[in-house]
Structure 1
Amino acid sequence: MTTEVDYYELLGCARTADDATLKAAYRKLAMQFHPDKNGGCKDSEAKFKAVSEAYEVLKDPQKRAAYDRFGHAAFKNGGGAGPGGFGGGGDFGAFSDIFESVFGEFMGGRGGGRQQRRGADLRYDMEITLEDAFHGKQTEITVDVSTACDACEGSGATPGTQAKSCGTCNGHGKVRAQQGFFMIERTCPACHGAGEVISDPCTRCRGDGRIEKTKTLSINVPPGVDDGTRIRLSGEGEAGPRGAPPGDLYIFIHVAKHGIFDREGTNLRARAPISFTTAALGGEIDIPGLDGERIPIRIPAGTQSGREMRHRGAGMPVLQGRGRGDLIVRIDVETPTRLSARQKELLEEFRKTETGDECPQSQGFFAKVKSALGG
């Protein structure tokens, strides 16, 4: 019995590894075990073929989704990525996938294998608050999706019966025809590439192997997600016809506009209007943080409108990482518009004491104006 080694273990990668990580791991191992570098060593050649096969499956999003859900069984019995063509016993592994990528479109798909049309991917748009994006969120969604028929278990045939091999293509899913010097291969018109025909279809799904259902799914929104973040739920899309692999469900995150903060990556921005006395004399204001804590912002004496104050580590958390961004507060000095008689009196007294040195920018500006007008 042949032991089937997990593709991720072969490449030394986690199941969550991205495409770049998988590619780097494959290149390293391919260089290490390439037959030309090992004097034709049979063990190295076998290892080279194994890692090549693993990478050829995992680099393809559809094949990887099928493998994540069904393992090696996804590519057996006409599963769509396995070796053999026409059900033959040849073990070509990754090299048959390379042949397919070059000639597949011209030849109408995989050479000789049954076609299993993978289920469609689905999209779900989810709106969350900025607080949800800060803390993360565990929630449930409901989606209407086609799932495997529970009456026939996805086979499409009436329980107690089974599909029969297609007589037109002899179960291959494809037929060939000679045209001049070329052998043309196309999808079987009788079974539409399935390789099987159902003489007694299931009455519930009418032979399709799928029915419409409403599914409730648990969604984990991690802290730090941003507008446009996409979460993939592998295998939660449309079921494939007659037991074919399902598609994926993609959750697109939309973060609602916040009343106080604007987001720039992991940083948060806020506008804080302060009184002209606080700007002149200095002081401290509090900004309510998304974590519920009050964030103190110190206002130095003489602060001008438009100045930005940065509070480090008070922004958004880093998605799937450590640390937080910063909070940047823009100061706007507000001129009072509703003064009491006493306040006006005090301001008049203050104006009488002004020398011009209190506001050097104003003094410098009007000095330039005076000079430009000839003194």
Structure 2
Amino acid sequence: MADDNGFRNDWATKDFYQVLGVQKGASAADIKKAYRKLARENHPDSNPGDSAKHEKFKAVAEAYDVLGDEGKRGKYDEFRSLQARGGFNPGMGGGSGGGFGGGGFNLDDLLRERAGGGAGGGGFGDMFGDLFGGGGRTRTQSRARRGADVESTATIGFTEALDGVTVSLRLTSDAPCPTCQGTGGKPGTKPHICPQCEGAGFVVSGSGGAFAINETCPRCAGRQLVYDEACPTCHGSGRGTSARTIQARIPAGVKDGARIRLKGKGGAGENGGPAGDLFVTVKVTPHRVFGRSGDNLTLDVPISFDEAALGGEVKIPTLGGAPVTLKLPPGTPNGRTFRVRGKGATKRDGSKGDLLATVEVQVPAHLDATAREAVESYRAAMAGKPLRSGLFEA
């Protein structure tokens, strides 16, 4: 149970290394491995009705909460080392013997002195406040929390996708409440260590999987503190909304449907935590003439029957550049694709893809007398060379 300063005296007599079955000098990886093994073996879901296993599970979670955090572990080791040298007896009450050099010493008095700023502040009050969620000048230090990721969509033109463009995005994201600055308390009211999680910010859950054993405290929402009165703006949630406009650079060569991550441009963090990320999904409007296949542009080129049969030169456009000429060999089939080097989309390395021009032979819907006579003459000339004879061969 925590005293007035939030320090749990019973923790001072616990050997968390022994609870996890590791040596004091064990690595962080070994500590995590031991914790996971013991958590699986003693999880309430795997041991229904076994109170001993349940208590062991709680002890293991408590031990890992300290030893699994580098800062807390350092404070804990410092505290245990001082205790081993006879620095003080955490179980002593006010005015009784023990303490430094055998003189009268009361841990509660010292913690209260440090919490009130006496003797210059700092010292054990701060150490225990950092480690056990109490004592110290600020009673407890709420955990820094990363801001939420934000999703947005940018619609750009076909040419902008090839060349790159900077767009303005109007974002609305989760942010600390502007009235209470994210504390959840009415300004001017006094904070207290959360009685449900005792300042840990989380509670042990008995309904998750083998590794989902901790969950955010529902009473303080992970902030570790509760207030006499809730903030009138956010009603205790500590969160609000933020509307802002940012400039986002869309790189050259981006494809339709691409998802771009802008690090640190998402929702604001809490208690000094980093901001989340912004994910922009790009929508590219189609072009009237050109299409796209990877880093290549595509173009359908209509040609006449005589151009396909006799060959010729056909001028075609390029996107953002001068036209180029395709040389069609005699007998060019319908659907043949010609490659124009370096006239495609910009690649990641700055080079260009190609332009793929596919010819489509056009059949006129109406023929004048001259054209009809020419086509009939062609039919007569080709009468001895049936095109479909191969279809009937066994």
Mark yes or no: TM-score above 0.5: yes
Partner of 1:88: 75
Query: Residue 235 of structure 1: which of 264, 288, 306 is its match?
Result: 264
- Residue 300 of structure 2 corresponds to 271
Change (3 A) 1:327 1:230: same
Query: Aligned-pair distance for 1:141?
Result: 1.4
Unaligned runs of at least 5 residues, structure 2: 1-26, 29-64, 79-130, 134-141, 206-212
Structure 1 equivalent of residue 47 of structure 2: none
1:205 to 234, 247, 252: 234
Q: Which amino acid aligns with 1:145?
A: S
Tell me the distance in 2 between the aligned counterparts of 1:141 and 1:120.
17
* Residue 174 (structure 2) aligns with: 146
Q: How does 1:1-375 map to 2 (within 5 A)?
A: 83-85=70-72, 88=75, 118-159=146-187, 163-167=191-195, 169-174=197-202, 188=217, 190-240=219-269, 244-319=273-348, 321-349=349-377, 354=381, 363=385, 365=387, 368=390
**Measured at CA, do residues 141 and 368 of structure 1 come closer, stay the same or move farther in structure 2, by a change above 3 Å?**
closer
**Helix, strand or coil: the match of 1:219?**
strand
CA separation of 1:355/1:194 partners in 2, compared to 1, >3 Å: closer, same or farther? closer
Which amino acid is the alignment partner of residue 232 of structure 1?
R
What SS is found at the alignment partner of 1:317? Answer: coil
Structure 1 contact 274–334 (Cα < 8 Å) conserved: yes
C-alpha change, 1:194 and 1:367, in structure 2 (3 Å) is closer
SS at match of 1:84: helix
Secondary structure of 1:171 counterpart: coil
Q: Find the residue that maps to 2:199 and give its secondary structure.
A: coil
- CA distance, structure 2, for counterparts of residue 349 and residue 364 of structure 1: 15
Q: Give the aligned residue type for 1:331.
A: V
Q: Report which of the two structures shows the higher radius of gyration computed on alpha carbons.
A: 2
SS in 2 for 1:316: coil
Q: Distance in 2 between matches of 1:90 and 1:127?
A: 56
Q: 1:141 to 1:239 in 2, by over 3 A?
A: same
TM-score by length of 2: 0.55
- What is the Cα deviation at residue 275 of structure 1? 0.7
Instruction: Judge conservation of contact 1:118–1:246 (CA < 8 Å) in 2.
Output: yes
Q: Do the aligned residues in 2 keep the contact of 1:210 with 1:241 (CA within 8 Å)? A: no
Check 1:337–1:170 CA distance in 2 against 1; reply closer, same or farther (3 A cut). Answer: closer
Does structure 2 conserve the Cα–Cα contact (< 8 Å) formed by 1:210 and 1:242?
A: no
Is the Cα contact below 8 Å between 1:146 and 1:213 reproduced in 2? yes
Query: CA distance change for structure 1 residues 170 and 368 in 2, over 3 Å: closer, same or farther?
Result: closer
Report deviation, 1:223.
0.7
* Structure 1 residue runs without a partner (length 5+): 1-47, 50-77, 92-110, 178-183, 357-361
Q: How many residues align?
A: 264
Shift of 1:248: 2.2
Letter in 1 for 2:366: R
Question: 1:64-119: CA deviations, max 9, x gaps?
Answer: xxxxxxxxxxxxxx9xx96234893669xxxxxxxxxxxxxxxxxxx989655544
Q: Which AA in structure 2 matches 1:193? A: G
Q: Which amino acid aligns with 2:290?
A: F
Q: Aligned equivalents of 2:301 and 2:350: distance in 1? A: 28
Supply the AA of the counterpart residue of 2:257: G
- TM-aligned CA distance change 1:172 to 1:299, over 3 Å: same
Contact preservation (8 Å) 2:341, 2:355: yes
Counterpart residue identity of residue 214, structure 1: A
Residue in 2 aligned with 1:34? none
TM value normalised by structure 1? 0.58
Q: Helix, strand or coil for the counterpart of 1:363?
A: coil
2:173 partner letter: V
* Cα separation, 2, equivalents of 1:112 and 1:122: 34
What is the alpha-carbon distance in structure 2 between the residues aligned to residue 240 and residue 116 of structure 1? 8
* CA distance in structure 2 between the aligned counterparts of 1:368 and 1:173, rounded to whole angstroms: 81
- Determine if contact 2:145/2:272 at 8 Å carries over to the other structure: no
Structure 2 Cα separation of the partners of residues 135 and 310 of structure 1: 21
Letter in 2 for 1:124: S
Secondary structure of the equivalent of 1:215?
A: strand
Give, in whole Å, the separation in 1 of the partners of 2:309 and 2:352: 32
| Percentage of identical aligned residues | 36
Which whole-Å deviations, capped at 9, do the CAs of 1:205-258 have from their partners, x for residues lacking one? Answer: 334333223221211111111123111123333345566544322111222333
> Cα gap change, 1:281/1:82 in structure 2, threshold over 3 Å: closer, same or farther?
farther
The corresponding residue for 1:359 is none
> 1: CA distance between counterparts of 2:152 and 2:316?
34
Q: Greater shift after overlay, 164-173 or 335-344?
A: 164-173
